[in-house]
Structure 1
Amino acid sequence: MNLKTLVKLGAVGAASAFFLAACGNQSKESNSKYINWQTNAQLPTLDASKANDNLSFAMLNNSNEGLLINAKNNKVNPGVAKSYEVSKDGKTYTFHLRHSNWSNGKPVTAKDFVYGWQRTVNPKTASQYSYLFDHVQNADAISKGKAPASALGVKAQGDYTLVVTLSQPQSYFKYLVTMAPFLPQSESVVNKYGSSYGTNSDDMVYNGPFKMTGWKGTNDTWTLQKNNKYYNASKIKVAGVKYTVQKDANTALNQYETGAADESFLSGAQQVGKYKGSKELVNQKIASTFYLEFNEKKNPELKNADLRKALSLAVNRKEYINNTLGDGSIPAVGYVSPGMSKRNGKDFTQYAGTSTGVSYNLSEAKKLWAKGLKEVGKKSVDYAVLSDDTDAGKKTTEFLETALGQLPGLKVSAQNVPFKTRIARSLSGQFDILVNAWGADFPDPISFLSLFTTDGSYNNGKWSNAQYDQLVKNAENKDSNNAAKRWDDMVKAEKILMDNQGIAPLYHQVQPQVVKPRVHGVQYFPTGSPIDFRDATLSNK
C-alpha cells in the first residue's frame, strides 16, 4: 500500500446519555464523547476497489468490515465471517457469515462479497490492488480480459456461506481478506450512485463499527460516526472520531497542546525531543520503506545501473534521518522492512540484508556518475525530485536537492505537490525521481517484492530484471508449498533488486505521535490498515 500519511477504527443507554446531555451543555458533552484526530493529507477515496493509500484504507477499514479483521501479533479475528474452514489441499476456503446489516438496514450477504471482489478484479474498474486476487481462481485471465469477472473463483452458497477457490495454496490469504479490496460492496448502492460512488461520504453505505459523515470529497474535515446498524454496536464505546487535515506539523501540535485535538503527528527532532520520555508519546512502528524510484521510461539513461547506484551512494541516510527527519525512523537496511517476517528465529533482513544499495560513499558516487554519463553519451542531465507538499515531503526534497546536486553534471530541482496529485503523477509516470513509499499489506516479504516485477502495477519507474521476475513468480507459484524454497526465492530476489539498484531505499518509518491520556484502546498495526478505533474508549482525564 502506498504510504503517504499515517492514520486504523444501539444501545438505549447511549441514547439516554445523549438526551441528558441535550438538557445541559450539549456541545461540551457531545464533544467529550468524540476522539479528535489529525492527519496530514486529504482523503482520496472511499471506493474499496480504487483505494491505494493508507488514509483511504484506514477510513474504509473503520467504516466497513471484511470476512476477517486484523488482530495483534499478526493474528486475525472473526469479522463478518464468524468462522471458516480450509480444505486439506489449501485451495478452498469456506466462510460462514454472521447475520449483519449495512448502514441502510439491508442485510450483508455472501453476494455482496462476490460482487465486491468481481468489481475489483474487473479491468474496467482499473483497481491498482486487483493483483492481490492473483491466487483466486481465474483472476489472472480476468485481469487480461480473457475471462469475464463472473468467472472469479468466489461463489455464494445461499446468503451466508461464501466459498473461495484458489488456483494454488496461499499461506497469507487469511491476511488478504482483512483488507479494503476484499470488502463487501452493495451492487444496488454502486449502481445507484454510479460515478459518484465512494467520492463523498453520502454516496456510500457502510457495514463496519463506524460510518463516514461530512466528507464532500475535497474538504479537510470528516467524522467516523458510530454505526448503530453494526452487529457489534453495543461494544463501540465512543460516539465517533472527528478527523481534521493539518499538513503543517507546527499547526497540528499547537492544536494538540491547546486541547483542540486528542492526537498530533510529530515532525522533526525538536518536536519529538519535546515529548521524549512522556507517556503521551507513541512511536508507531510501521512495516514500511521509503525509497527513490528512477523513471527509466521517461529518462532512458536511467536504465544505466551505474547512474542509479551513483544517485543512491550520494545520499547520506544517517544524516538524513538524524538531521532532517529526526523522528526515530531507521536508515534503510534494504527494501523489505525489518521486524515483519522471520524464519528459524531470524528476521528476513538478516538473510537478505546487504550494504549494497543503501550505503553512502560520495567519492564512489562521483566516479560511478562520471562513468555512467560517459556510457550513455551525456555530459549533464536535469532531474526533478517529486514528493508531497507535507512538511516532511518538503524537508526531504530539500535534502535530496543538496545531496544529489553534489554529482557533477547533475542539476536537481524539487517538486512538492498535493498528495492526490503526487499519486496521480506517480502512476502515470510523470516524474524523474520519485520519493515513494510502501507499507506492507500483510506480514510476508512478498508484499514488498511483488511490486517490482516487470509488470507490477506499482513499478512506476519501470525497472526490469528477468531473474527477479522468475524468483518472485516461483515464490508465488511452484514453491508456494515449500516454505524453505519460497524463503530462498525471496531472499535472492531482494539481493538482485539491491545489487542492481532497481530502487534506492532511504529509511524504514517510525511515526511518532502524541495522544491525550483520555484516549485508550486505539490499536495500531504495522501491516495493512494502520489504525483501528473499534476498541477505543475515553476517560475523564
Structure 2
Amino acid sequence: MSYKKLIGLMLMMVMILLLGVGCSKTSNNEQVLRYALEAEPATLDPAKSTAIPESLVELQLFEGLTRLDAKDQPTLGAAEKWDVSSDGLTYTFYLRSNAKWSNGDPVTAADFEFAWKRALNPELAFENAYMLFPIKNAQAYNEKKLGADALGIKVLNDHTLEVTLEKPTAYFLNLTAFHAFYPVNQKTVAANPDNWANDVTTLIGNGPFKITNWVHSGQLQFAKNDQYWDVAAVKLSKMEWPISDSQSTRLALVENNQADMMVEPPVVEHDRLNQAGLLKISPYLGTYYYVFNTQKAPLDNPKVRKALALAISRESLVKNVIKGSKKPAYSWVAPGLINPATNKDFREEGGNYEVEDVALAKKMLAEAGYPEGKGLPPITLLFNTGEMHKSIAEAIQEMWKQNLGISVTLTNQESKVFLESRHQGEFQIARASWVGDYADPMTFMDVFKDPTNDAKYNNPVYNRVIEQAQSTMDQKVRMQAMHDGEKILFDDGVILPIYYTTQPFVTKPYVKGYFWSVLGLADFKTAFIEK
C-alpha cells in the first residue's frame, strides 16, 4: 500500500470516528448525495449567517421569493409571480397557494414580513441587515430613526406581499434569492428565539430538503422535503454531509468513496486530480486586489498608482505563486455575471481596463516627478498574516524593485487589526478582496461610491454614473453606466487587481444535475446520482 493511500485511509478512519457513524453505503440506484462540508455551520439562522458553509446548507433548506437559476438569474421561488410598478418602486409578490413549511404549515406573506423585520431589527444587530436597505425606510429603522411600521413591507393577504423600495433597484429580484430574505417559520422562531436554528426538531424550512440529523462538528443529514411545492423536481431521496475543515480529510473521503464531492482540494493535488478527471473549476464572483489610499502621499498622485499597477505580471503571479486555477485580473468586476440586455458576460463585453507595460510604468513614474524611482517617498504595503498573502506581497515587491527601481516595505498584521487599519485609512497600499453578495455588477460598483470606502476615494463623476445605474430599470442604460464607471476607476488608478477568485472542487462523475452559483453556492435541488 502506498504512503499516500495509507494516509488517506487513516484520515478517513479519523473522520468516521468523529462522525460516530460512517457515511451510508449507497447502491447503484440509490439517490443519496454525500457532500463533504468544509466547516461546521456557526448557525443556520438565515438572518444571522455570514459564511459560505452556512449559506450552502440554508440554500437546501429554505427558499426566498425567488431562486437563482443556473445562470444566476432570478426565477420563480416561493412566489409564483410578481408585478413591478412602472416607476420601479413597488413590487407585489404573489405566493404559491401550495407553498408549505417542512412541518406542513402554509408559507404566508406574514412569514416573509416577520423574517425581514426580524433581520432589520436594530436590537438584534444582524450583520445581514444592510442587504435589505433597498426597502423603503429599512436603513432608518435599522439605525433606530424610525419604527418598524414605517417599513415598506405590507401584507395584503396570506398570499400577497407588497414591497416598496427607497429607489428603483433593478437587481432587487436577485436580492430576494439571498438568504437574508428567506422566510422563517414565525411560530417556531417565536417559541425558541435563541436556539431554534441549531436544533433539528425546530429547524423548519420551506426548501427542497429538510434536515433530519445534525451531529455538531460531525455530520449533517437531509431528506427530501415532501411538503415542498416543487417536490417532483427533487430527485435525491436524502443527503449525508460529513463535516471537516481539513482539505486533505475531505479529499480523502471522496477518493476513498466515503463522499461524492468537496470544495477547495489542496493546491498541490490539483494537477493529479485534473489528470484523473476529478477536478472542476467553477466561476466565483470575487476579486483579489491591492487598494491604494488615494489620500496618502505619494499614493495621492494617480500617476504613481498607475505606475505601480502597470509594473507587475499577473500571469507570472498566478502561474508561479497563486496557482489554484485562479485567473489574472485586469478589471474590477469579476467574470460570471450576465448582462440581461445582451445576454453576454458583463466582464467579457467590458473587456480589460488594466494593462502590463513596464516602459509605460517608468514613464508614468517619471511624469509624477520620480524618474527611475529617485526621490520617491517610502511606501509600505500592508497585508494580513497568511502564507499566501505574504508570498504574493513578496513577489510584487520584487517586481516593483526590478521594473521600477523602488523598494517597498512589507508589513503584516493579524486579521482583526489589519481590517481596522484598512478601515481607518492607516495604510498606503493594502491587500483586499471582494466577493459579491448578489449576482449583479452593482455588488462591485457601489463599493467605491460608499464614502467610507477603503481607498478614501471620492469622485463626483463616478458617483453620478453609479447613481444613474442605481436609479433606472433600463438594463441597457444601467449596464453601460457601470461599464463607464469601471473605466473611471482605472483612469483614476484606484485599485490594482491581481486575480479573479475561482471555486475548485472535486466531484465524482456520477453526480449530475447540480450547478454552482458564482456566489460560491452549489444548488442540489435537481441533483441526482447516475451510476
| Residue 423 (structure 1) shift | 11
> 2:154 touches 2:163 (CA, 8 Å); kept in 1?
yes
Matching residue's letter, 1:265: V
| Residue 453 (structure 1) shift | 1.6
State the match for 2:393 in structure 1: 400
In structure 2, relative to structure 1, the CA distance for the partners of 1:242 and 1:450 (3 Å cut) is same
Look up the SS of the partner of 1:271 in the other structure: helix
> 2:155 touches 2:161 (CA, 8 Å); kept in 1?
yes
| Residue 310 (structure 1) shift | 5.3
For structure 1, the residue ranges without an aligned partner over 5 or more in a row are 1-24
| Residue 400 (structure 1) shift | 2.0
State the match for 2:109 in structure 1: 110
Matching residue's letter, 2:214: G
CA distance in 2, matches of 1:368, 1:252: 48
State the match for 2:55 in structure 1: 57
2:211 is the counterpart of 1:214: no
Residue by residue over 1:136-186, the C-alpha shift from the partner in whole angstroms, topping out at 9 and shown as x without a partner, is 333354355432233222211222221222344433322221111211123
State the match for 1:184 in structure 2: 183
Aligned match for 2:486, one of 489, 494, 497 = 494
> 2:224 touches 2:237 (CA, 8 Å); kept in 1?
yes
CA distance in 1, matches of 2:265, 2:426: 26
In structure 2, relative to structure 1, the CA distance for the partners of 1:64 and 1:270 (3 Å cut) is same
> 1:379 touches 1:409 (CA, 8 Å); kept in 2?
no
> 1:373 touches 1:380 (CA, 8 Å); kept in 2?
no
> 1:200 touches 1:215 (CA, 8 Å); kept in 2?
no
| Residue 402 (structure 1) shift | 3.2
> 2:449 touches 2:463 (CA, 8 Å); kept in 1?
yes
- Normalised by the length of structure 2, the TM-score is 0.78
2:338 is the counterpart of 1:341: yes
Residue by residue over 1:329-373, the C-alpha shift from the partner in whole angstroms, topping out at 9 and shown as x without a partner, is 3211301123523455765446644443x6364993798499699
| Residue 307 (structure 1) shift | 5.7
> 1:373 touches 1:379 (CA, 8 Å); kept in 2?
no
State the match for 1:255 in structure 2: 253
In structure 2, relative to structure 1, the CA distance for the partners of 1:238 and 1:278 (3 Å cut) is farther
CA distance in 2, matches of 1:416, 1:267: 25
Equivalent positions of 1:365-380 (< 5 A) are 368=365, 379-380=377-378
> 1:288 touches 1:509 (CA, 8 Å); kept in 2?
yes
> 2:301 touches 2:368 (CA, 8 Å); kept in 1?
no
> 1:307 touches 1:372 (CA, 8 Å); kept in 2?
no
CA distance in 2, matches of 1:253, 1:338: 27
CA distance in 2, matches of 1:30, 1:148: 56
Equivalent positions of 1:25-64 (< 5 A) are 27-29=24-26, 34-40=32-38, 43-64=41-62
Q: How many positions carry a matched residue from both structures?
A: 496
State the match for 1:85 in structure 2: 83
CA-atom RMSD, angstroms?
4.1
State the match for 1:454 in structure 2: 450
Residue by residue over 1:425-461, the C-alpha shift from the partner in whole angstroms, topping out at 9 and shown as x without a partner, is 699669852341313612x3222212222246xx455
In structure 2, relative to structure 1, the CA distance for the partners of 1:79 and 1:339 (3 Å cut) is closer
In structure 2, relative to structure 1, the CA distance for the partners of 1:310 and 1:524 (3 Å cut) is same
> 2:283 touches 2:335 (CA, 8 Å); kept in 1?
no
Residue by residue over 1:188-207, the C-alpha shift from the partner in whole angstroms, topping out at 9 and shown as x without a partner, is 44444445565777774322
Aligned match for 1:536, one of 511, 527, 531 = 527
Equivalent positions of 1:15-414 (< 5 A) are 27-29=24-26, 34-40=32-38, 43-98=41-96, 99-196=98-195, 198=197, 204-212=203-211, 213-214=213-214, 216=216, 219=217, 221-233=219-231, 235-248=234-247, 250-265=248-263, 271-276=269-274, 279-294=277-292, 305=302, 308-309=305-306, 312-313=309-310, 315-342=312-339, 343-344=341-342, 347-349=345-347, 352-356=350-354, 359=356, 361=358, 364=361, 368=365, 379-380=377-378, 382-386=380-384, 394-404=387-397, 406-407=400-401, 408-414=406-412
State the match for 2:470 in structure 1: 476
For structure 2, the residue ranges without an aligned partner over 5 or more in a row are 1-21
CA distance in 2, matches of 1:340, 1:411: 37
After TM superposition, the structure 1 stretch with the greater mean CA deviation from structure 2, 219-228 or 491-500, is 219-228
In structure 2, relative to structure 1, the CA distance for the partners of 1:124 and 1:522 (3 Å cut) is same
State the match for 2:18 in structure 1: none
Residue by residue over 1:31-68, the C-alpha shift from the partner in whole angstroms, topping out at 9 and shown as x without a partner, is 97542323545545433234344333222222111112
